[in-house]
């Protein structure tokens, strides 16, 4: 039996707009098997407050998901790097 390994934590996403201005976003990422997903907020496993259920449903939907294949590499060097193709 193989145990499932999940890496998760906060990362800083740095980007640049067309007019030369840059931006920084804090994102929560989850790397599970070959799927990388990132969120605006940390997804909650249990919904303790039922009145916040509507808003927490939107927090549990990832902003973006990437399938990590043989042509893609994820590195933890303090910087975001993309290599290869994302399917």
Distance, CA of 32 to chain centre:
10
Structural domain of residue 56, as residue ranges? Answer: 6-67
pTM here? 0.57
Number of domains composing the chain:
1
Which tokens hold the place of 29?
């990422």
Summarize pLDDT for 29-52 with one digit per residue, the tens: 888 888 888 888 888 754 455 455
User: What is the structure's pLDDT at 84?
Assistant: 46
Q: What pLDDT is recorded for position 7?
A: 84
pLDDT of residue 46: 47
40 within domain boundaries: yes
Does 33 fall in a domain?
Answer: yes
The stretches in the chain having pLDDT less than 70 are 1-3, 45-59, 72-87
Flag whether 81 is in a domain.
Answer: no
Q: Indicate left, alpha or beta for 77 from its phi (over 0: left) and psi (-120 to 50: alpha).
A: alpha
49, 42 contact by CB (below 8 A): no
Tell me how far apart the alpha carbons of residues 4 and 22 are, in angstroms, rounded to a whole number: 37
- Is residue 10 domain-resident? yes
Residue 13: name the closest of 85, 87, 57, 63 by CA: 63
């Amino acid at each position: 039996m193989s145990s499932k390994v999940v890496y998760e934590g906060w990362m800083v996403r740095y980007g640049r707009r067309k007019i030369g201005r840059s931006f920084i976003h804090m994102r929560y990422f989850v790397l599970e098997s070959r799927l990388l997903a990132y969120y605006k907020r940390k997804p909650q496993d249990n919904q303790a407050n039922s009145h916040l259920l509507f808003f927490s449903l939107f927090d549990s939907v990832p902003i973006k998901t990437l399938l990590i294949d043989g042509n893609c590499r994820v590195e933890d060097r303090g910087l975001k790097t993309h290599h290869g193709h994302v399917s």
